[in-house]
Amino acid sequence: MPERIILDYGSGGKASQRLIKNLFMKHFANPGLNRMDDAALILDLQGPLSMSTDTFTVDPVFFPGGDIGSLAVHGTVNDVAMLGAVPKYISCAFILEEGLVMDDLERIVQSMARASSHAGVQIITGDTKVVPRGAVDKIFINTTGIGLVVADPAPSGHRAEPGDAILISGSMGDHGLAILSHRQGIAFETDVLSDSQALNHLILRLIREVGDIHVLRDPTRGGLATTLNEIAQQSDLEFIIDQELIPIKEAVEGGCSFLGLDPLYLANEGKFICILPESLATKALDIMRNDPAGQDAAFIGRVAEGRNGKVVLKTALGGHRLLDMLEGEQLPRIC
């Protein structure tokens, strides 16, 4: 194959077939995809299903701790899992810029194959388009996932209740700062890596071993602050968060201070918020902290009645302030 992507790869003709066979089928092969029909045939999913779609346009496409390929798999797998589901299948659609280096594309496809294998999902359908130079920036990827809901009832932002505990699975702001620092060529004393990872295996353990989980949500764009506001508004309750209990790595704290950013608004791609009865919090934290995906899990606050729809932050100095949603675009193209 040529060293770079050419427009003919999106023609649907022989060149397209060579790209599919020599790249995508080579790394994604599985019984569903190998049928090569116009649509994927799914025979084994019955009952309530969870489905989510997302498009990834991250810049740069390779960053400390990941790349656009693994991010596209993790992002959709995690969204499907947040409904208390076991992700089973995903689709992927590529929009490729003419001139994209073929070795870079294969590196991304290999990364997607590893990420989907680790998450236990199969890529069973897809699409490829090639557009002229300048129409996109290198590569955009859309992934859609579907999974079987096993939690009953399914977690939802509407299900938070007064007295619930608010947990997070790890440190905040890693992904957003990793992307920004790599994009700007900024080096810190300690490397900041993206937290991009699949969360579905840990989520399944919580559902099966703890149960009665009211809310699951991954704080991606807009970060922890915006996501908590979304849930508080959905459930029409007040969330009281203790700033000193929120885990933030020293390197992220220092980098944000240097760049004038608030880590509570930075995106995370491998963390989740878990809201459940406080009587179950200790058991949930034990499970999370014994899993590689949740080692820094923490209890950060409670759900209450009062200023409904608002998030109140207890500051390190003992004061209280409203923690609002993100206003404007803090960091574009981070996922």
Does residue 245 have a pLDDT over 90? yes
Summarize pLDDT for 40-82 with one digit per residue, the tens.
999 999 989 999 999 999 999 999 999 999 999 999 999 999 9
Does residue 257 have a pLDDT over 80? yes
pLDDT of residue 157: 97
pLDDT of residue 137: 96
Does residue 327 have a pLDDT over 90? no
| Strand segments (E) across the chain | 49-56, 62-63, 66-67, 85-97, 122-131, 139-149, 164-168, 215-217, 238-242, 273-277, 298-304, 311-314, 320-322
Q: How confident is the model at residue 329 (pLDDT cuts 50, 70, 90)?
A: confident
Among all chains, which residue has been given the structure tokens 């066979």?
Answer: 21
Measured CA to CA, the distance from residue 17 to residue 1 in angstroms comes to 12
Q: Are 312 and 321 in contact (CB under 8 A)?
A: yes
Summarize pLDDT for 106-123 with one digit per residue, the tens.
999 999 999 999 999 999
Summarize pLDDT for 126-151 with one digit per residue, the tens.
999 999 999 999 999 999 999 999 99
Task: List b or e across 89-104, with b for residues whose CB sees 16 or more CB atoms inside 10 angstroms.
Answer: bbbbbbbbbbebebeb
Q: Are 165 and 297 in contact (CB under 8 A)?
A: no
Does residue 330 have a pLDDT over 90? no
Residue 312: strand pairing partners: 240, 322
- Cβ burial, residue 139 (10 Å; 0-12/13-18/19+): buried
Q: How confident is the model at residue 333 (pLDDT cuts 50, 70, 90)?
A: confident
pLDDT of residue 16: 93
Measured CA to CA, the distance from residue 267 to residue 331 in angstroms comes to 9
More confident site: 333 or 40: 40
pLDDT of residue 183: 87
Q: Which two tokens stand for residue 59?
A: 């810049």
Residues 6+ apart with CB under 8 A from 208: 150
Does residue 326 have a pLDDT over 90? no
Q: Are 326 and 223 in contact (CB under 8 A)?
A: yes
Percent of the chain's residues with pLDDT above 90: 89
pLDDT of residue 185: 84
Q: Which two tokens stand for residue 175?
A: 């992904």
State phi, psi for 76 to the nearest 5 degrees.
Answer: -75, -40
Measured CA to CA, the distance from residue 265 to residue 219 in angstroms comes to 9
Percent of the chain's residues with pLDDT above 70: 100
Maximum pairwise Cα distance, the chain: 67
- Alpha helices, H only, 185-280: 200-209, 223-235, 250-259
pTM here is 0.96
Determine how β-strand 238-242 pairs with β-strand 320-322. unpaired
Does residue 252 have a pLDDT over 80? yes
Q: Which two tokens stand for residue 176?
A: 């957003």
pLDDT of residue 332: 84
Q: How confident is the model at residue 91 (pLDDT cuts 50, 70, 90)?
A: very high
Torsion of CA 294, 203, 231, 304, to 10 degrees: -70
Summarize pLDDT for 260-319 with one digit per residue, the tens.
999 999 999 999 999 999 999 999 999 999 999 999 999 999 999 988 999 999 998 889
- Mean pLDDT for the chain? 95
Does residue 189 have a pLDDT over 80? no
Q: Are 113 and 72 in contact (CB under 8 A)?
A: no
